[in-house]
Chains A and B, each alone.
Chain A
Amino acid sequence: MCLALPARIQERTGEVARVLLGDAVMTVSLVMTPDAGVGDWVLVHAGFAMQEVSDQDARETWMLVDEYDVLTPDRPLEGFQ
């Protein structure tokens, strides 16, 4: 319940924004991040943007979220079972 993911703001109308979260377009409230604008990345939790994050951090989070096999039985780290 307490996981937030970075989403990019596409359009802002007052306190509400349309964001792209992964492949999903959704509407979130910007009441907690009043300075966020179009193109900015925000951490989204339960329909609310909680914090702005940098472009690099957001992209890296998504790359690692997408990449489930950082550690998997098929690709164990050398020297570890």
Chain B
Amino acid sequence: MSGVRANVAAREALVARARARMAGLAGELGALAGRLGRPMAFMEVCGTHTVNACRSGVHSLIPESVSLVSGPGCPVCVTAQRYIDALVGLGRRPGLIITTYGDMLRVAGAGGSLELARSEGADVRVVTSTREALEVARRNPDRDVVFAAVGFETTAPATASAVLTADREGVENFSVLAAHKLVVPAMTTLLENPDVRIDGFLCPGHVSVVIGSEVYRPVVERYGKPCVVAGFEAVQIMEGIVHLARQAVAGEARLENLYPEAVTPGGNPVAARLIDEVFVPGAAAWRALGEMPASGLDLRKRYQHLDAFHRFGIQLGDDQEPPGCRCAEVITGRCNPLDCMLFGRVCTPIYPVGPCMVSSEGSCQAYFRYRRHEGRRRAPSGAGSVT
């Protein structure tokens, strides 16, 4: 990368173009907001969009009448507490090794978090890839190694690949506790809720690399909501918002892909085949949204021997949200993090109460890191239910 870093002039020129483009877009958004004459609210489905919009200052360029509301796009945040409880319970079994992405470590269930379990002696190891998890299993053939498979369609192919490899190589001590989620069912469920009032979706960039942009077509055609796929740079996020606003002003609902350099209409067919070979869509429990049919991925019967639910006879219990925590409302666009009474007082990234403060992609952590000085919000805007 040193070659790229050395090219200061090219970078300066690019940043200057980005700033000019940003100013133009901000001006257009202001004009569009004035023309519409009513507040509008767009949901950024993806947690990474939430974080980058906060970090880059995009919020500061948006008129008061335009709201960006968070959606159910942070995998850790939407994972039901009953799954966390099962995972932590599994982690406490003597001799068993839990492998997990780092984000899951500090999410607390009724019986504490994986981090707490680790401090009490559980063998919990953070991995950055399912390949690492599989390697842990190969190196510890006499111990059970469980991978906490959480995430949307972006991460599901990696889990599928590990399952196929474990099956092929006969890594019998490896299994996955799968809680993968599908993005589109969450979006349509939200639209069925009359409390959630939004004018369009900023659709996730890298989930769409796998599933393609066409999957959002039903959201546009059946629910009449604009869907715009956007990348993660500040300018790309702003472009997405402006395109959504243009549609809102024109009274249109169209599917637009503003990230064609990475996202194709049909997605990555190899990744889709991997998912299909290992998983089958099944009912899944989501935090805040409850149990939704065909919104998650279950391991196929063919791979039942690698399914930790099956291997350890795990039955999921009930969810008990922490008292006062409004994460469930935050991830459904019904509460701004700044409006939660726990936010910044008893709930901080160091001592998080709810998952949205734990995860680096969670709305509450993004607001804490970049927007907590804004204080509590003003009067209700009227459009989005976030006030």
A residues in contact (CB < 8 Å) with B = 1-4, 20, 22-23, 27-29, 31-34, 43, 45-48, 50-51, 53-54, 57, 59-67, 69-73, 75-81
Q: Which chain A residue has the least Cβ–Cβ distance from B133?
A: A47
Task: Return the contact of A3 from the options B10, B15, B161, B206 (Cβ within 8 A).
Answer: B206
B271 near A2: Cβ-Cβ < 8 Å: no
What's the nearest-Cβ distance from chain B to residue A27, in Å? 8
What's the nearest-Cβ distance from chain B to residue A76, in Å? 8
Q: Is B350 an interface residue (CB 8 A)?
A: no
From A43, A63, A69, name the one whose CB has the most chain B CB atoms within 10 angstroms: A63
Please indicate the chain B residues that have their CB under 8 angstroms from the CB of A22 in the complex: 1
Please indicate the chain B residues that have their CB under 8 angstroms from the CB of A20 in the complex: 1
A4-B206, A31-B270 given; A63·B60 CB < 8 A: no
Q: Which chain A residue has the least Cβ–Cβ distance from B132?
A: A47
Q: Is B327 an interface residue (CB 8 A)?
A: no
A20-B1, A22-B1, A59-B4 given; A70·B361 CB < 8 A: no
Please indicate the chain A residues that have their CB under 8 angstroms from the CB of B346 in the complex: none
- Can you add 18 more A-B contacts, CB < 8 Å, to A2-B73, A60-B14? A1-B47, A1-B75, A1-B101, A1-B359, A2-B47, A4-B206, A22-B1, A23-B1, A23-B2, A46-B101, A48-B161, A50-B206, A53-B261, A53-B262, A66-B11, A70-B18, A80-B23, A81-B60
Q: A54 vs B261: C-alpha distance in the bound complex, in angstroms?
A: 8
Count A-B pairs with CB separation below 8 Å: 152
17 A–B contacts from the bound complex (CB under 8 Å): A1-B74, A1-B154, A2-B47, A2-B154, A3-B48, A23-B2, A29-B129, A32-B161, A43-B206, A45-B155, A47-B131, A47-B158, A51-B209, A61-B233, A71-B56, A71-B60, A77-B22
A43 near B15: Cβ-Cβ < 8 Å: no
B151 near A1: Cβ-Cβ < 8 Å: yes
Find residues 210-240 in chain B having any chain A CB closer than 8 Å to their own CB.
210, 232-235
A47-B132, A62-B1 given; A4·B155 CB < 8 A: no
B101 near A2: Cβ-Cβ < 8 Å: no
A70-B19, A80-B61 given; A50·B271 CB < 8 A: yes
Q: A13 vs B61: C-alpha distance in the bound complex, in angstroms?
A: 47
Q: A64 vs B18: C-alpha distance in the bound complex, in angstroms?
A: 9
Please indicate the chain B residues that have their CB under 8 angstroms from the CB of A34 in the complex: 270
A67 near B15: Cβ-Cβ < 8 Å: yes
Task: Return the contact of B19 from the options A28, A45, A77 (Cβ within 8 A).
Answer: A77
What's the nearest-Cβ distance from chain B to residue A35, in Å? 10
A45 near B1: Cβ-Cβ < 8 Å: no
Please indicate the chain B residues that have their CB under 8 angstroms from the CB of A77 in the complex: 19, 22-23, 26, 61
Q: A54 vs B260: C-alpha distance in the bound complex, in angstroms?
A: 11
A32 near B274: Cβ-Cβ < 8 Å: yes
